[in-house]
Structure formats: structure tokens, C-alpha cells
Amino acid sequence: MKQVRLVIRHDKVEAKQIATDITEALSHNDVTTEGSNPEAVIAIGGDGTVLEAASIAMKLNVPVCGVNVGGVGYLAEFSQAEVADLADAVANGTYSTRAHSTLFVSTGEYSASAINDVVVEKVVSQRIIKVTVQINGKPLSTYRTDGVLVASPLGSTAYNLSAGGPIVDPSLDAFILTPIAPHSLLSRAIVLAPDAVVTLSVTRDRPARINVDGRELCTVSPDDVVTIRRGDSKVDFLTLNRHPFPAAVRDSFGLDHA
């Protein structure tokens, strides 16, 4: 019998009901949500829940998908009305997968993979930090800023978008460097080649931290070197090819259309 793992946002009543619905739909197709060898991971919630599920899926080397529960769900491709179709596709193997690039960050003894973004940011809200940026070993700029963000294309619609960075088609193999509220003439984001290596160091004697997909990895001291590059692994998203990139952006962000 096929197995699927569910990752549920338990503080949402709707998520619990959808979990019940999809469990029943899968069961009718001889697919169980129990077991240690799932063929896919299904997140029920918002984009944060999808990120949690995607981390699990990467470790298991299986695809992930999300059923959106309220709010903006750019990563959660499926609506509540598509639960039955999703269950049928999983049971019959009639889905496609899309591989998306990840990021890898390291500093000292700490390292982590990121699906959306890596952020080096200030700890004390009233004080900016000074971050020196190099690309492939060559100096780019030193920013007086709230932080510097490096995002994958998939993560371009998360913190990167709020910080003024561009929306990037997630099928592209690239990543984005975006300063956060910089005190600088160079305030625009930069789209980098997939083999670029970004090196950051905090040069002002103020505390800073590294956040990976919204979770703190560690704090960094002045002159600690933080290296960010494309991850060795990709994350596979399960899809029925119903929501192409323009439609996903339009629907997620409520854009007007004819």
C-alpha cells in the first residue's frame, strides 16, 4: 500500500478538517497516511507549513505539495476544492514534479540548507549593522543596513518581496541578493548566477544573527565570514500543472486581470 505523510497546521480548525478529508480520500484509493516510507509529503496550512514539510521531504527524497488554508499561499499550490483530485493523482501516480534550487549557508561550526532564504540581520532594532558583501571573492559593496537577504527563486515572494526584491520565476536557476532598508545609494536587489558564491561579514561591532527560512541558525560576531551558495540538493514539488507561474502570482497576490 502506498504511503503519504501529512504535515498539518494544528492551530487551524480548517486544516484539521482538510486533513480528515484528504485522509479519507487517500484511503479510498488504497493510500495510507501511516508508515515510515512515504512516497510524498502533503502540507496542510500556509507557506510556513509547506516549508516545514519540504524540509522533511528533502530528507526523505520524495516530493512535497501544499493544500492552502486561508491567507496567501504561494507555495501551497492546491486549494481545498482540489483535495480529491490531489488524492487521485497521488494514488495513481498521475502527477508531475518540479525541482527547485535551494541555498546552503555556512559559518564556523554552523551550516544549514534553505528553501526560501538566508538572512543576516541586526539583533537590536534601533541599531543598523554594517555588512560587507563579496561575490565570487570580489568586493561588491559594504551596506549600512538592517540586514542582507539571499533568496532562492522559490523564496522570491517571501521576505525578499517585502524587502523590495523582484518576483522571480521559480523555474529559473538563480538567486537574489537584497539589502534590507539600506542606508546606501545601491538599494536595489541583484539577481545572481546559480554558481555564484556570496560572502558576507558584519564589520561593525554590533550583534547580528543568521535566519534560515525564518528560523534563527546562530549569531555572528564582527568579521565572522558567512558563505552562501546554491545547495547541492533540490526540493521537488508535486504538481498537476494547473497553476502556471503568471496565474500563481496573480491569484496569490490578488492582482487584477481581465
- CA 191 – CA 231 distance, rounded (Å): 16
Q: Quick check: 99 and 235 in contact, CB under 8 A?
A: yes
Q: Quick one: CA dihedral 48, 192, 237, 56, positive or negative?
A: negative
N-to-C CA span, the chain: 45
Residues 6+ apart with CB under 8 A from 116: 51, 151, 152, 154, 155, 158, 159, 213, 214
Stretch (H or E) spanning 112: strand 110-114
- CA 214 – CA 225 distance, rounded (Å): 20
47 labelled catalytic: yes
Q: Which of 11, 30, 47, 117 is catalytic?
A: 47
Give 158's DSSP letter: T
Residue numbers annotated as active site: 47
